[in-house]
């Protein structure tokens, strides 16, 4: 089996795989990533092939040192440095003008590249030992649930990955927030582990940018994504049908006396951070229960609630009725 516990020895082995153009799945604080040498176009092409990811959907490159940002991007605005100093390492991705060293396959031909520095010791050690930025989308099949454990990765990708580093459950549980810097303004392209309010507290106003599903310049801009194989719907009384195997995920409290086949609670204390961390984990668990469908309660769209609802709208998109 290609799933191994992350330690000095296995991380070194993983870095050697990266150096020769192989694929390694590794943990970050957000979700598990499927990584390849970002400067090797042939290696990056393997990511798209294994994930069955559309070629028009760009990748994020992961770096191990803040100074690396200057090697791969072009920017002058001091607010970029303020964001980096405040939130890196952490779940914030910056979309900036790229330097020529970044292959077009990484950016899907866009003149910008998405960059972040993950806040996970396994990820950082892997990048450092690989001596290259690592391009890494989530380590799953395109459009499916994001993986927050190494077992999730193996379920989706199996032996198509050269090595899977098991670093435990991801702490944040939802992908990074993506910010695009364009013409002296900042735009949120995807809500994630850093809230809009946190960002605005250090650089001022950040605008919301309409997603461009035809020509995205970063991940997370398509209307469908993060979907379980089991149909998923927002909680609605009309779905409470007897003799159906129904799973339910509530935020904090149960909303009905209906007897579900299985019930999960994202956070009994009402903590949005805990809810975000459990979201994909619980969806993976319910996906294994042979249910007719899953109902999930919306959460209030404040703070991390915006990121949770972004994922849920995309996860329920293909099952809309």
Whole-angstrom distance, CA of residue 290 vs CA of residue 229: 10
The pLDDT, as a whole number, for residue 321 is 53
Domain ranges of the chain: 3-208, 232-319
The pLDDT, as a whole number, for residue 226 is 73
Q: At what angle do helices 272-287 and 305-316 cross, to 10 degrees?
A: 20
243 among annotated binding-site residues: no
Query: Domain 3-208 carries which CATH code?
Result: 3.90.870.10
79 among annotated binding-site residues: no
Q: Kindly tell me the sign of the dihedral angle through the C-alpha atoms of 8, 11, 12, 13.
A: positive
316 among annotated binding-site residues: no
The pLDDT, as a whole number, for residue 223 is 58
136 among annotated binding-site residues: yes
* Per-position pLDDT tens, the chain of length 321: 799 999 999 999 999 999 999 999 999 999 999 999 999 999 999 999 999 998 888 999 999 999 999 999 999 999 999 999 999 999 999 999 999 999 999 999 999 999 999 999 999 999 999 999 999 999 999 888 999 999 999 999 999 999 999 999 999 999 999 999 999 999 999 999 999 999 999 999 999 876 555 566 666 666 566 788 899 999 999 999 999 999 999 999 998 999 999 999 999 999 999 999 999 999 999 999 999 999 999 999 999 999 999 999 988 987 665
Report pLDDT digits (tens) over 122-141: 999 999 999 999 999 999 99
Residue-wise over 265-304: b if at least 16 C-beta within 10 A, else e?
bbbeeeebebbbbbbbbbbbebbeeebebbbbbebeeebb
List beta partners, residue 92: 177
226 among annotated binding-site residues: yes
253 among annotated binding-site residues: no
The pLDDT, as a whole number, for residue 143 is 83
Report pLDDT digits (tens) over 213-266: 556 666 666 656 678 889 999 999 999 999 999 999 999 999 899 999 999 999
176 among annotated binding-site residues: yes
Among 143, 147, 136, CA closest to 24:
136
The pLDDT, as a whole number, for residue 212 is 56
Query: Domain 232-319 carries which CATH code?
Result: 3.40.50.11030
112 among annotated binding-site residues: yes
311 among annotated binding-site residues: no
Q: Kindly tell me the sign of the dihedral angle through the C-alpha atoms of 75, 111, 90, 136.
A: negative
130 among annotated binding-site residues: no
Q: Cβ–Cβ contacts within 10 Å for residue 191, how many?
A: 25
The pLDDT, as a whole number, for residue 111 is 96
The two tokens of residue 306 are 């915006």
Among 204, 206, 193, CA closest to 116:
193
């Amino acid at each position: 089996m290609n799933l191994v516990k992350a330690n000095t020895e296995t991380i070194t082995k993983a870095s050697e795989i990266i150096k020769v153009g192989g694929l390694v799945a590794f943990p970050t604080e957000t979700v598990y990533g499927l990584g390849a040498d970002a400067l090797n176009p042939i290696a990056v092409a393997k990511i798209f092939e294994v994930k069955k990811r559309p070629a028009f959907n760009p990748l994020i490159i992961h770096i191990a040192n803040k100074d690396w940002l200057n090697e791969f991007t072009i920017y002058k605005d001091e607010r970029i440095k303020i964001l980096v100093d405040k939130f890196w390492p952490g779940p914030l991705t910056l979309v900036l003008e790229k330097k020529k060293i970044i292959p077009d396959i990484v950016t899907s031909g866009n003149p910008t590249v998405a960059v972040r520095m993950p806040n996970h010791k396994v990820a950082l050690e892997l990048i450092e030992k690989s001596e290259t930025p690592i391009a890494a989308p989530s380590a799953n099949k395109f459009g499916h649930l994001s993986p927050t454990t190494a077992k999730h990765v193996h379920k989706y990708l199996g032996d198509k990955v050269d090595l899977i580093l098991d670093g435990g459950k991801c702490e944040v549980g939802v992908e990074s927030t993506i910010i695009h810097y364009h013409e002296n303004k900042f735009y949120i392209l995807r809500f994630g582990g850093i809230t809009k309010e946190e960002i605005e507290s250090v650089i001022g106003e950040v605008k919301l940018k309409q997603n461009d599903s035809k020509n995205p310049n970063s991940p997370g801009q398509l209307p469908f994504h993060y979907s379980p194989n089991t149909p998923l719907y927002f909680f609605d009384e009309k779905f409470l049908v007897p003799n159906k195997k129904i799973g339910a995920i509530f935020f904090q409290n149960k909303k009905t006396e209906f007897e579900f086949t299985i019930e999960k609670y994202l956070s009994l204390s009402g903590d949005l951070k805990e809810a975000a961390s459990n979201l994909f984990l619980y969806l993976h668990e319910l996906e294994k229960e042979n249910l007719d469908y899953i109902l999930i309660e919306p959460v209030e769209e404040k703070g991390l609630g915006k990121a949770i609802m972004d994922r849920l709208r995309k996860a329920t998109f293909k099952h809309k009725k």
